[in-house]
Amino acid sequence: MRITTWNVNSIKQRLPHLLAFLEEARPDVVCLQELKCQDEAFPRADIEAAGYAVETLGQKAYNGVALLVREPLTLSEIRRGLPGDASDEQARYIEALISGAETHPVRVASIYLPNGNPVDSPKYAYKLAFIERLRLHARALLQDEIAVVLAGDYNVIPEPADAADPEAWRSDALFLGTTRAAFRALLAEGYTDALRACDPRDGLYTFWDYQAGCWQRNAGIRIDHVLLSPQAGDRLVSASVQKHLRGLDKPSDHVPVTVELTAG
């Protein structure tokens, strides 16, 4: 089973790139973030025509997450929204159980974690609270002893090796010590950073800002992550970054990260 996460930074603008990727890579499950549209505006017909079932949690102009599942796999037990704060109206979390006749089930979540800047504003408190809610939910998901994949744009640079220029991010919400400590606490619940488990090299980035020639200078950061529960980690075959998609015409500033799991 191949599972991809990709912050497309507007599904309307990036639909041709997404459809080409689906045809080229044929991932079984795709976790999308930053749709920037409401559910009724999502290009469902185009995605379904490509052979994928679709579940979305949209929001006008901001945020938005989706799960795409290639037939004959199916989605069930859909959860829209992260538990722990009934007043949170931001569309940042969608989860489903992915099943198929030839594979053991996997519970997959598409996550768009808050950016948190500026750090002296309520946005940073919301980011930390969101990570804590995610940690508690991630712990609860382990109780079913089903493989769990928590994939998405975490807006967290875990280590200095995950940035081309760590000093440039020292005071940013993505790299503050409190942010990184919260991310480590999430991992400590028993989750594995799939990409780092497969490739410990420096220079693995998933995001290049549109400004200041970051792409041309390879001044990137790694903020898109796929976290695996122990049951999913036991099935890990490979993890990779599809960096070439950042070089397309009018690309997203993020690129996909794909993991491959055995059938079970």
Asked about 199 being catalytic, the answer comes back as: no
Which residue is associated with the tokens 């490739």? 199
Q: For each successive 10 residues of the chain (264 residues), what is the average pLDDT?
A: 98 98 98 98 98 98 98 97 97 98 96 98 98 98 97 98 98 98 98 97 96 96 98 98 98 98 93
- Cα separation, 91 vs 82, in Å, equals 9
pLDDT, one tens digit per residue, over 15-48 is 999 999 999 999 999 999 999 999 999 999 999 9
pLDDT value of position 264: 86
- Cα separation, 249 vs 253, in Å, equals 11
pLDDT value of position 201: 92
In the chain, the amino acid numbered 247 is G
Binding residues for Mg(2+): 7, 34, 153, 155, 253-254
Asked about 126 being catalytic, the answer comes back as: no
pLDDT value of position 88: 97
Which of 28, 153, 172, 224 is catalytic? The answer is: 153
Walk me through the domains of the chain, giving residue ranges and CATH numbers. 2-261 (3.60.10.10)
Q: Which is it for the CA torsion 163, 166, 172, 173, positive or negative?
A: positive
Which of 52, 112, 124, 154 is catalytic? The answer is: 112
- Cα separation, 151 vs 143, in Å, equals 19
- Cα separation, 28 vs 41, in Å, equals 23
Tokens of 9: 């930074």
Please calculate the CA angle 46-3-234 and round it to the nearest 5 degrees.
Answer: 160
Asked about 153 being catalytic, the answer comes back as: yes
Long-range contacts for 159-168 (Cβ within 8 Å, ≥24 apart)? 161/202, 162/204, 162/205, 162/221, 162/222, 162/223, 163/205, 163/220, 163/221, 163/222, 164/203, 164/205, 164/217, 164/218, 164/219, 164/220, 164/221, 165/219
Instruction: Calculate the CA 184 to chain-centre distance.
Output: 17
Pick the closest to residue 123 from 157, 159, 172 (CA basis): 172
